[in-house]
Structure 1
Amino acid sequence: MTRPDDVTLETVAAGSYHAPHDVLGPHGVADGWVVRARRPFADAVVLERAGEEPVALTHLAHGIWEGALEAQPGAYEIVASYGGAPDYRADDPYRHLPTLGEVDLHLIREGRHERLWEALGSQVRRFDGVSGVSFAVWAPNARAVRVTGDLNGWDGTQHAMRSLGSSGVWELFVPGIGVGVAYKYEILTSDGRWIMKADPMARRAEVPPATASVVTESSYAWQDDAWMTERAETSVHSRPMSTYELHLGSWRPGLGYVEAADELVAYVTSQGFTHVEFLPLAEHPFGGSWGYQVSGYYAPTSRFGTPDELRHLIDRLHQAGIGVIMDWVPGHFPKDEFALARFDGAALYEHPDPRRGEHRDWGTYIFDYGRNEVRNFLVANALYWFEEFHVDGLRVDAVASMLYLDYSRNEGEWEPNIYGGRENLEAIRFLQEVNATAYKRYPGIAMIAEESTSFPGVTAPTDAGGLGFGFKWNMGWMNDSLVYMGRDPLYRSHHEGELSFSFVYAFSENFVLPISHDEVVHGKGSLFTRMPGDHWQQLANMRAFLAYMWGHPGKQLLFMGQEFGQMSEWSESRSLDWWMLDQPAHAQLQQFVAALNRVYRAEAPLWERDSDGSAFVRVFPHAANANILGFARHDSAGGSVVVLCNFSGSPIHDVDLTLPAAGPWEEIMNSDAQEFGGSGVGNLGGVTTDAHGNTRLVLPPLGVLWLRHRGA
């Protein structure tokens, strides 16, 4: 090996050489070995090995030192002297082989590395007999990459990374450091600029507004084996699923992951929900985005604690029999300079064409779904949350914005696909891949689409051409039903179709019925304030609506605060109005929601065959009274529950209808019951039909009844 020329030595000294390991570290030469080290401003530099005499190094140029050895040195340390200061002793990062093998690099190039988080990012390792941290980052457009941070006093020239060729990956193993080190990457762009970036694959980040990545390693011991085993053996589609959606920072402010474990488990258990759904918990720079503008896809937000503390929270929920869904945002990412945007100086994670790469409405970038490495980054990220945090489902945000090239764009602002259509074919293939892969690897989980259009086959299997989601949010039901409930009861009879139209398509997909955070922000008020009438009537409308919702085919989702009728609009910057529970009427509404969940979970007809149209039938003709909506739900064992709704402001007596089975029927839920703050109108003794199923009963004002066939 010939001695490097002066330009190369100067470039290495500046930390801007693409292959520093070709110059630094040990190298075989014709008559033995040489070792080179970068120690600028040192007065003397010595190589030391256990049991061997020290070898003095000679200064070549620009702070690069060299020493000759007869044989390959093996493990050694470089000791530098700086006048009267203590000697600086360190293992040499440049003596180590790459920590990534050819298989890793091949899978990354192909976009098929399903455990990408174990290859890229920072990894605590014992490598070549030495403890340290490996760093690896994908930056194919970079001319040079350096690690900077606590490990070098934020002087990245000390830790230049090597390029691993056509993979676009840069790598360095740094001995002697470990968990807790904050770091970033300094990247030399193709046009000669140095930019500083957080690690896209970091599994921990500093607490915002700080933006550095942090080396982490999990030592958590899970205790949810029983939950995970049962999950893998059952389908969520044929089980009750009633979800409590929450924003952790404002549910009860001041709680971290550990503190929330006790309080959230107790509350959700008391309310009877089967699942919680967290607004995004991946790291994000701006709290006001609610987590929907993600900067660290693999890093749980440090606002509430460490990654292992989040594991503790999820574990506790599982041990209490509560599933965990997390919002996931693969549709766009923010333009913050420290994060993914223009990561290596050029469009990398984002599509380079602004007609496909930017969301102008949101001020964000759109992922380049057709690029192997970007698709791999996102698919592996979904798997990461299932694997490392045991989440039971991902609710995929803004799917419609991914499916359509003309989403929120005017004519001339978008480019058709290769067939001249408006569908984003690359995004569709990505969604199919992430869904198929997640379900293959983690049976029993749920992939849930927030999709607001009539795109066909959202929950159809991928092998049949569908997107492969497990569930789709029923936005049509949500919009129509909220419009209906906002009307004065006097006029509702003219708009019954706003409630019943959903029955036409209720079984075309596997639906979730969402009353989510989006319905209680941006001037919409709360669910309570959208109800007409005086305070008593608003509460009655709330109970009736929720009983109708829980009885309707599909799974349920309710945003925090609505269970007790919060009157003010939600804000992420303050707590829910828990003080409202000092008002008996609102405490009764909370008790009603708990009762809804309790009865719902006990009644298989309300959830076992949610997507089976043959398990549903209307039982009251619209022509008889447009204020009454009635339908029956059936389970596979012959059980039946009938849901009867009266959305007028007066009780309706002597209602004639035909029930699906003859004999006695028990009233198992009455939203107008006095214990919930209602007027107490109902059928306390239940009802009995004749041999043909015909009966007569009373319906309470602004009330919903659930009847169960006693013979079931």
Structure 2
Amino acid sequence: MTPRRPTRNPATAQAPEAAKTPKVPAVKSAQPARAAQAPAPEAAALPVPPAGTPPRPRRSGEGVPAHPVDAADRWRLLAGEHHDPHGLLGAHRVAQGVAFRALRPCAQAVTVLAEGVRAELHDDGDGLFSGVLPLDEVPRYRLLVTYADGHETETEDPYRFLPTLGELDLHLIGEGRHEELWTALGAHPMTHQGVAGTRFTVWAPNARGVRLAGEFSYWDGTGLPLRSLGRSGVWELFVPGLGEGTLYKFEVVGPDGHHSLRADPMARRTQCPPETASVVTASAYEWRDQEWMAHRGDRPVHEAPFSVYELHLASWRPGLGYRELAEQLPAYVKELGFTHVELMPVSEHPYSPSWGYQVTSYYAPTARLGTPDDFRFLVDSLHRAGIGVLVDWVPAHFPKDDWALARFDGTPLYEHPDPRRAEHPDWGTLEFDYGRTEVRNFLVANAVYWCQEFHIDGLRVDAVASMLYLDYSRESGEWAPNEYGGRENFDAVAFLQEMNATVYRRCPGVVTIAEESTAWEGVTRPTDSGGLGFGLKWNMGWMHDSLVYMSKEPVHRKYHHNEMTFSMVYAYSENYVLPISHDEVVHGKQALVTKMPGDWWQRRANHRAYLGFMWAHPGKQLLFMGQEFAQGAEWSEAHGPEWWLTEDAYHSAGDHRGIRDLVRDLNAVYAATPALWERDTVPEGFQWSLGDAGEDNVLAFLRYDAQGSPLLAVSNFSPVVRHDYRLWAPEGTAAWAEVLNTDDARYGGSDVRNADPVKAEPGAVRLTLPPLATVWFRPA
């Protein structure tokens, strides 16, 4: 936007004539009767007349100000570049009494109202009004502002208030250690010095000035400049009369004098996109999930059942908001038996097709679905249904929108100053400067914020690999090595370690999960042992290899057998989650069932067999919405899952609803069988029964719980029935009984089963293996 400038040239302007010959205070009248009247209702802090109203011309014979503003100060104030507007505006003791000065653009007159005093200030031009009253102390006063159309409003003066931030807050911000940063920065309704209003604070250390603009000022920030709170880089203003629901932005003047309107980086509520203003908010929500919160950390997550349903909130049931989702989602997830949901990013983002992975407001749940308290209600409802809530968190990059974080104060602030480390080549976005203490604090506090303020049970951190490597997606010459000549981003490593350590310390029972696609060592190792400190890591290698195998025709699978066994070579190097996520069912990758070869029956059989193998394999599991009932189309955020496939009109025995029933039963048996989750991360929990039967497309292994009780999982990835198939089995078990069979007719299979417990031989067991199926057995 074009910066507003005073009408005079500051380089040549002379002080007003009044400065040479001070006169008596510009007191038009003193009418105690007026001051004794009841105060008018509190109005917006900066009421203005309709757009286009000209300022009142100076009246003949009007008095002159007794305490004029220095020309340079006046210019900086009107240009929005003054660091201490409170030093000029408001009320101050002077030799002659108390000097009052107000900046009210377009006002016709400004009158000071105090006990026993009614005094009209002198019009200094450009919206400035001043005068000196012969008072001994600064009184409790209000301003009566009159406009050309005769409209009057009585209001508090924002510039009579002391700063609202204390030294401890500023010290912690400067140190980059304010773990509840959202309580210090942003917009906060509060009562200050006995007056209700809102505190506005923003970090913009390189700005020449910052002003507040909003619907209350027709988006003109001239009348509400913020003060700089010293070396902290924080600007602050308490505005009486503004409260919840107020739309606002910060007008930031960069080092080059350019003015830009910016959304609040710490906004806890926003307008609904495509609108971009921040919204003043305060939570009034009363949580009812105390039992869940008290016990969610009773068992370490890597030793607990952990089965995740990933979804995109806006398209799971298109048209539903947070409150409506709370009526349907918990019941659906609970019926299917998942222990957790994982929500694709819920932080506010301007571009819907980004699915939330290009965030502009890190502290605000998207307004597309409701208010922050509406989102709290959804989380609360899931908790009361016994379901944990994970959210995708995106500290790897942010978009370049000129109203958001990019060059926020006119300089690279949140992004790295070196373009080779700021520009993200894949997504056209900017990467955070993890080496800057305040930026790191912004992100670490944000992780704590979601867990603390919204009772989130876990953060899945997106694109960790892109943070760890300086050469990620960059060619030679497009990146600069670290101080040791390597490609590791040590600033990002330190940030991730601090984030994980802080979240685990402050939020017991929370888990952090890394989407990390390389072999970086120690992703889930504790930070005090040199690791990154995550609780779990997505096993991208298992996902890729197993899907390559499953996409092959059965006759060719023997040449890819190692794709299914290689995961056990590194299965215990980290604490893993096995992800079939949204990334695997979009952009031409096809839905899970469509990746499978063969006709429709074979595709569904492969789909079922694969899920049975996945649920039995060491590691936790994650499944994206729509794959639980094998929809054939890729996911689209425009219309979400194809729910019609599960309706009666499209249902045949064992079709889509049959696969959904299988997922329900997989989760039920999984949760009731400690062998499938209790020793996920130690070698003692796994043993091959048959790992080299590539010619037969058969895989068999045992899972053990802490007491040594086994479960035998056998997958036959060929379309033939294998009768009397001999497998190794441990001694001491007389017979093995089917627990779950993905070929069951209820799920749409051919119903080839081991109906009775199968007697064991010394060191072996002979089974009937159904075609394209996984069967689980436990000792009878």
TM range, smaller chain:
over 0.9
Counterpart CA distance in 2 for 1:103 and 1:330 is 27
1:197 and 2:268 aligned: no
1:546 and 2:617 aligned: no
- 1:79 match: 144
Counterpart CA distance in 2 for 1:671 and 1:551 is 12
Shift of 1:276: 0.5
- 1:247 match: 312
Counterpart CA distance in 1 for 2:249 and 2:285 is 26
1:611 and 2:692 aligned: no
2:187 to 116, 122, 127: 122
- 1:512 match: 577
Select between 122-131 and 227-236 the one with higher mean Cα deviation. 227-236
Counterpart CA distance in 2 for 1:84 and 1:533 is 79
- 1:23 match: 88
Shift of 1:251: 1.0
1:665 to 722, 727, 736: 736
Q: Secondary structure at the match of 2:131?
A: strand
- What are structure 1's unaligned runs of at least 5 residues? none
- 1:484 match: 549
**Conserved in 2, the CA contact under 8 Å of 1:142 and 1:190?**
yes
**Conserved in 2, the CA contact under 8 Å of 1:293 and 1:332?**
yes
Residues 687/629 of structure 1: CA separation in 2 closer, same or farther (3 Å cut): same
**Conserved in 2, the CA contact under 8 Å of 1:10 and 1:62?**
no
- 2:760 match: 689
AA partner of residue 665 (structure 1) = W
**Conserved in 1, the CA contact under 8 Å of 2:558 and 2:694?**
no
**Conserved in 2, the CA contact under 8 Å of 1:149 and 1:155?**
yes
**Conserved in 1, the CA contact under 8 Å of 2:307 and 2:620?**
yes
- 2:56 match: none
Counterpart CA distance in 2 for 1:203 and 1:614 is 47
Q: Secondary structure at the match of 2:669?
A: helix
- 1:56 match: 120
Counterpart CA distance in 2 for 1:232 and 1:639 is 25
- 1:639 match: 709
Shift of 1:583: 2.7
2:723 to 641, 647, 653: 653
**Conserved in 1, the CA contact under 8 Å of 2:715 and 2:775?**
yes
Shift of 1:4: 2.5
1:593 and 2:663 aligned: yes
- 2:516 match: 451
Shift of 1:468: 0.3
Counterpart CA distance in 1 for 2:693 and 2:76 is 85
Counterpart CA distance in 2 for 1:251 and 1:496 is 36
- 1:45 match: 110
Shift of 1:644: 0.6
**Conserved in 1, the CA contact under 8 Å of 2:691 and 2:701?**
no
**Conserved in 2, the CA contact under 8 Å of 1:9 and 1:61?**
no
Counterpart CA distance in 2 for 1:370 and 1:615 is 41
1:706 and 2:706 aligned: no
Counterpart CA distance in 1 for 2:691 and 2:500 is 40
Shift of 1:16: 3.3
- 2:747 match: 676
1:208 to 262, 273, 291: 273
- 1:337 match: 402
Once the two structures are superposed, residues 386-440 of structure 1 have per-residue CA deviations (whole angstroms, 9 ceiling, x without a partner) of 0110000000000000000000000111000011110000000000000011011
TM-score for the superposition, normalised by structure 2: 0.89
How is 1:488-507 mapped onto 2 (pairs within 5 angstroms)?
488-507=553-572
2:488 to 410, 420, 423: 423
Q: Secondary structure at the match of 1:73?
A: coil
Counterpart CA distance in 1 for 2:96 and 2:267 is 43
AA partner of residue 583 (structure 1) = H
Shift of 1:41: 4.0
**Conserved in 2, the CA contact under 8 Å of 1:13 and 1:64?**
no
Q: Secondary structure at the match of 2:690?
A: coil
Once the two structures are superposed, residues 360-401 of structure 1 have per-residue CA deviations (whole angstroms, 9 ceiling, x without a partner) of 221000000000000000000000000110000000000000
Pairwise CA RMSD: 1.4
- 1:385 match: 450
1:68 to 132, 141, 145: 132
Q: Secondary structure at the match of 1:43?
A: strand
Residues 186/299 of structure 1: CA separation in 2 closer, same or farther (3 Å cut): same
Shift of 1:262: 1.1
Shift of 1:58: 2.2
Select between 362-371 and 12-21 the one with higher mean Cα deviation. 12-21
Residues 63/375 of structure 1: CA separation in 2 closer, same or farther (3 Å cut): same
**Conserved in 1, the CA contact under 8 Å of 2:105 and 2:222?**
no
AA partner of residue 119 (structure 2) = V
Q: Secondary structure at the match of 1:636?
A: coil
Residues 376/701 of structure 1: CA separation in 2 closer, same or farther (3 Å cut): same
Shift of 1:506: 0.7
- 1:172 match: 237
1:311 and 2:376 aligned: yes
AA partner of residue 707 (structure 1) = F
AA partner of residue 108 (structure 1) = I
Counterpart CA distance in 1 for 2:525 and 2:696 is 34
- 1:438 match: 503
Counterpart CA distance in 1 for 2:651 and 2:238 is 61
- 2:471 match: 406
Counterpart CA distance in 1 for 2:109 and 2:599 is 85
AA partner of residue 697 (structure 1) = L
**Runs of 4+ that moved beyond 4 A:** 623-626
Q: Secondary structure at the match of 1:689?
A: strand
Counterpart CA distance in 2 for 1:632 and 1:418 is 48
Counterpart CA distance in 2 for 1:151 and 1:257 is 29
Once the two structures are superposed, residues 89-116 of structure 1 have per-residue CA deviations (whole angstroms, 9 ceiling, x without a partner) of 2100001111111111111111100000
Q: Secondary structure at the match of 2:296?
A: helix
Counterpart CA distance in 1 for 2:383 and 2:264 is 31
**Conserved in 2, the CA contact under 8 Å of 1:6 and 1:61?**
no
Shift of 1:65: 1.7
Shift of 1:623: 4.9
Shift of 1:237: 1.5
Counterpart CA distance in 1 for 2:330 and 2:645 is 21
- 2:212 match: 147
- 1:89 match: 154
Q: Secondary structure at the match of 1:334?
A: coil
- What are structure 2's unaligned runs of at least 5 residues? 1-65
Shift of 1:543: 0.3
Counterpart CA distance in 2 for 1:206 and 1:18 is 29
**Conserved in 2, the CA contact under 8 Å of 1:617 and 1:632?**
yes
**Conserved in 1, the CA contact under 8 Å of 2:67 and 2:99?**
no
Shift of 1:166: 1.1
Shift of 1:188: 0.9
AA partner of residue 677 (structure 1) = G
Counterpart CA distance in 2 for 1:41 and 1:304 is 39
How many residue pairs get aligned? The number is 708
Shift of 1:74: 4.0
Q: Secondary structure at the match of 1:187?
A: strand
Shift of 1:625: 5.1
Identity of aligned residues (%): 56
Q: Secondary structure at the match of 1:12?
A: helix
Shift of 1:71: 3.0
Counterpart CA distance in 2 for 1:405 and 1:570 is 32
**Conserved in 1, the CA contact under 8 Å of 2:250 and 2:264?**
yes
Counterpart CA distance in 2 for 1:624 and 1:292 is 40
- 2:698 match: 628
